[in-house]
Amino acid sequence: MKKITKLTILALVLGATSIEATSADYALTTKYKLLNDMKLAQKQQALIVSMNQSLDSKVIDIKSLKKSKEKFTKVLLGLTSGNRNYKLKGTRIPMIKTKLSEVQTLWKNELKVLNNIESSNVDKEQAIAGLNTLMIKMSEAVAMYNKSYKRYKQSSMLSSIVNRHLGSNNKPALALNSL
């Protein structure tokens, strides 16, 4: 089981890249509408790892597992359709929405297995395997959020460069002047 936990943590590391705002792109990070959604999608991965570690221990902490399941469910729903309590906007980007739909399908199946574990300590292996599959799909969704954010930054930077060269009079500036 430790091998499965290591694979899960590896998927978490590979799927999530940290969001670092430098002073040059601070304005960009604050204007990206899905920034909080992206951060909470990354935290979903941490919840999966937490649930996996709970199952991997000799004695399952049912209370902790239940809290993690409830939070994961609420945030996952919020990522697709929004949630005021978590300040989630919900995505309209088809690629991300499709991936989150896949995650929801996997999560519904995983919930059934996890609920059986709460009543009896059976199917641990099946639950851990399901969480690992869920982690892979969630990592793919996080990667899509990151890709969307990078596109947003590129578009904003390009727009900023164009506006700077147009100047306040909307007259194009000569590119040779910057040499």
> Domain 2-12+29-153, CATH 3.40.50 — does that match?
no
Residue in 5, 34, 40 with CA at minimum distance from that of residue 135? 5
Which pLDDT belongs to residue 178? 39
Over residues 20-29, the pLDDT tens digits come to: 434 344 455 5
Residue 92, classified by CB atoms within 10 Å of its CB into exposed (0-12), middle (13-18) or buried (19+), is exposed
- Residue-by-residue DSSP string for 25-59: GHHHHHH-TTHHHHHHHHHHHHHHHHHHHHHHSSS
| Model pLDDT, residue 10 | 54
Residue 137, C-beta contacts closer than 8 angstroms, at least 6 positions apart: 99, 102, 103, 106
**Averaged pLDDT, 98-113:** 95
Structure confidence by residue, pLDDT tens digits, 130-155: 999 999 999 999 999 999 988 888 88
The rounded distance, in Å, linking the Cα atoms of 1 and 125 is 8
pTM of the model: 0.74
Burial class of residue 67 (count of CB atoms within 10 Å of its CB; 0-12, 13-18, 19+): middle
Structure tokens at 81: 């359709």
Report the alpha-carbon distance of residue 57 to residue 52 in Å, rounded.
Answer: 9
Do residues 141 and 39 touch, judged by C-beta distance below 8 A? Answer: no
Give the gyration radius of the chain's Cα atoms.
21
Per-domain residue ranges for the chain?
2-12+29-153
159: number of Cβ within 10 Å: 10
Q: Pick the closest to residue 35 from 161, 156, 136 (CA basis).
A: 156
Helix (H, G, I), strand (E, B) or coil at 83: strand
The pLDDT value given to residue 68:
94
